[in-house]
Amino acid sequence: MRACDIIARKRDGLEHSREELEFFISGYVKGDIGDEQMAAWLMAVYFQGLNREETQILTDFMMHSGDIIDLSGIQGIVVDKHSTGGVGDKTTLVLAPLVASAGVPVAKLSGRGLGFTGGTIDKLEAIPGFQTSIPSEQFLNQVNEIGLAVAGQTASLVLADKKMYALRDITATVESIPLISSSIMSKKLASGANRIVLDVKFGSGAFMQNKEDAELLARTMVNIGNGLGRKTVAVLSSMEEPLGYAVGNALEVQEAIDTLQGHGPADFTELCLTLAGQMIYLGDKAASAEDGYKLAEELLKSGAAMKKFEQMVTAQGGSLKLAMAQAKYQYEVLASQSGVVQSITARDIGHASMLLGAGRETKASAIDLSAGIVLKKKVGDTVQQGEPLAVLYYNDAYAHRVQDAADELRQAYTIGHADAHKEPLIWKIISE
C-alpha cells in the first residue's frame, strides 16, 4: 500500500477500506507519512467527503492513536457532555454538579479557550486554589467519592488529532463535517464515558453558523457514537446571542454560581436543565428526559447541585470563601439610540472580550481571568438612549484596547423599533 495511492483514491471520490484508513492514520502518527501527504489527503476529504462508515472507522483509529481513559473503576453509568463551543458558554460549571447530584457520575476532561470562545479549564482556574491538573488515580477516586471531577485533558489523548488539527488549521481544512466530527468524537470516546450528550450550537457565536450545518454535524457525531457502541444524543441550541450575561472567566464562574443558587439567567438555566435532563435519563436515573429535567429543576431549587459544586471545589483544592480576581476598571458602553435590541452578534462580543484579555489570540497567549464583559441588555429588551448596553471589565495591560472593544460591542448590537425575532434557545434533539 502506498500513501500516494490512498490520496489519489479520495481525490477521485472513491471509498476507503478499513485497511487504507488504518495504514494512513497509523503511518501519520508514527511519522512514516509526512505532513505534506496528510495535508493533501485532508484537502481531498474536504472536497470529496467521507461516508458514514469511513467516518466511523477514521474516528475509531484516531481514538486509539493515544491513551484511552479507563473509567471502568467508576461505579455507575458515566455520562459525558461536549459543547461545540460558544460565547459565554459556562454550561459545564453548572451541568456537571447538577447531574452528579442526581447520582450520575461525571468524570469530565475539558479544554482551554481559544479565539472568541472560552474553555472550562480557564474558567475553573479563576476559583482561588482550584487544581485542574490532577493525577488519574485522584481523578477516579474523587468521582467514586463525591460523584464528579473536572480536569484538563492529558497531552497523550488522541495523538492523531493533535497533529491533524494543527495541520488543518494551516491548510484551510478545518471546515469539513467528517473531519470535525471525527476530531471531536475521537476525543470524547477516548475520554472513556459510557454515554454522551452533545450540545451542538448554531449561530453567529458558534462554529457552525447555520442550523442546517449544525444538524448535519450533530447527526454525523450521533451516528459515530452510536455506531461505536456509546449511546449518544445531541441537543441543537442557539448561539446567536451570548449565553447568559457574563463573558469572561471569573465573571462566568460568578454567573454559574448564581445559577446554581437558583437565580441565574433564564436562557442559561434552560439550557442546563435541558442537557441535565438528557444526561440524567442516559445515566438511568430517570424514566425519560422530561423526568430528568424535572429532577434537575428540583436539585437546583433544593441547593443539592450547589452543594455538589462546593464539594468538587474543595476536593480539587479550591475555595469559594476567597474572592476571585477582580478587574481594576469598569467601562460602561452606552446605547446611542433608543429602541428594542434586535440582535447581538455573539462572535463580536467574544472578540471584544478577547481584546480585554479574557481570551487567547494564540495558543500561547496569557489570559486575564478577571477581564470580560457583562451584558446589560439581551435580544428583545427595550433600551433608552444613554442606558448601558454592557460593562467592560479590564486591567492596565489591556487598557489601550478598551475603545476598540467598546466599538466592537456597540457594533454587535442592532437596535430597532420592531418587535425582536428571538430564536428559540433549543431547536432540536437528535438521538439517532
Among 353, 360, 349, 340, CA closest to 417: 340
- What is the distance of C-alpha 40 from the center of its chain? 29
Q: How far apart are CA 40 and CA 31, in angstroms?
A: 16
Gyration radius from the chain CA atoms? 22
45 counts as binding ligand URA under rule CB under 6 A = no
Q: Which residue has the cell 429535567?
A: 293
Q: How far apart are CA 144 and CA 105, in angstroms?
A: 8
184 counts as binding ligand URA under rule CB under 6 A = yes
Q: Which is nearer to ligand URA, 182 or 278 (CB)?
A: 182
Quick check: is 307 catalytic?
no
- Beta carbon of residue 253, minimum distance to ligand URA (angstroms, whole number): 23
Annotated catalytic residue within 16, 82, 123, 377? 82
C-alpha cell at 262: 437558583
- Beta carbon of residue 161, minimum distance to ligand URA (angstroms, whole number): 7
Asked if residues 424 and 380 have their Cβ atoms less than 8 Å apart, the reply is no
Strands 148-152 and 106-110: parallel
Q: Which of 180, 300, 352, 392 binds ligand URA (CB under 6 A)?
A: 180
120 counts as binding ligand URA under rule CB under 6 A = no
**DSSP letters for 116-174:** TB--HHHHHTTSTT------HHHHHHHHHHHSEEEEEPPTTB-HHHHHHHHHHHHTT--
- Beta carbon of residue 83, minimum distance to ligand URA (angstroms, whole number): 10
Q: Which is nearer to ligand URA, 186 or 370 (CB)?
A: 186
Q: Which of 37, 65, 120, 183 binds ligand URA (CB under 6 A)?
A: 183
Among 281, 272, 269, CA closest to 232: 281
Quick check: is 12 catalytic?
no
Annotated catalytic residue within 123, 168, 188, 351? 168
C-alpha cell at 387: 442606558
CA angle centred on 413, ends 272 and 208, rounded to 5°:
50
Annotated catalytic residue within 60, 89, 122, 161? 161
CA angle centred on 304, ends 299 and 309, rounded to 5°:
115
- Beta carbon of residue 120, minimum distance to ligand URA (angstroms, whole number): 14
Q: Which is nearer to ligand URA, 80 or 368 (CB)?
A: 80
Q: Which is nearer to ligand URA, 165 or 329 (CB)?
A: 165
Show the binding pattern over residues 201-230: x = contacts ligand URA (CB under 6 A), - = does not.
------x-----------------------
Q: Which is nearer to ligand URA, 196 or 356 (CB)?
A: 196
Q: Using the rule CB under 6 A, give the single segment among 59-67, 179-187, 188-196, 418-426 that binds ligand URA.
A: 179-187
CA angle centred on 402, ends 401 and 404, rounded to 5°:
70
Annotated catalytic residue within 10, 108, 187, 377? 187
C-alpha cell at 169: 488549521
Show the binding pattern over residues 149-178: x = contacts ligand URA (CB under 6 A), - = does not.
----------------x--------x----
Q: How far apart are CA 304 and CA 340, in angstroms?
A: 38
- Beta carbon of residue 181, minimum distance to ligand URA (angstroms, whole number): 8
Query: HSE (CB half, 13 Å, CA atoms) of 256?
Result: 29
Q: How far apart are CA 95 and CA 309, in angstroms?
A: 10
Quick check: is 35 catalytic?
no
- Beta carbon of residue 226, minimum distance to ligand URA (angstroms, whole number): 19
Number of residues that bind ligand URA (CB under 6 A): 7
Annotated catalytic residue within 183, 186, 237, 353? 183
Quick check: is 168 catalytic?
yes
Q: Which is nearer to ligand URA, 292 or 359 (CB)?
A: 359
C-alpha cell at 319: 475555595
- Beta carbon of residue 402, minimum distance to ligand URA (angstroms, whole number): 30
Contacts of 184 (CB under 8 A, 6+ apart): 82, 84, 221
Q: How far apart are CA 144 and CA 146, in angstroms?
A: 6
Q: Which is nearer to ligand URA, 147 or 178 (CB)?
A: 178
CA angle centred on 412, ends 422 and 243, rounded to 5°:
50
Quick check: is 183 catalytic?
yes
Among 251, 417, 256, CA closest to 324: 251
- Beta carbon of residue 229, minimum distance to ligand URA (angstroms, whole number): 21
Q: Give the residue nearest to ligand URA (CB).
A: 183
Binding site for ligand URA (CB under 6 A): 165, 174, 179-180, 183-184, 207
Task: Catalogue the active-site residues.
Answer: 82, 161, 168, 183, 187
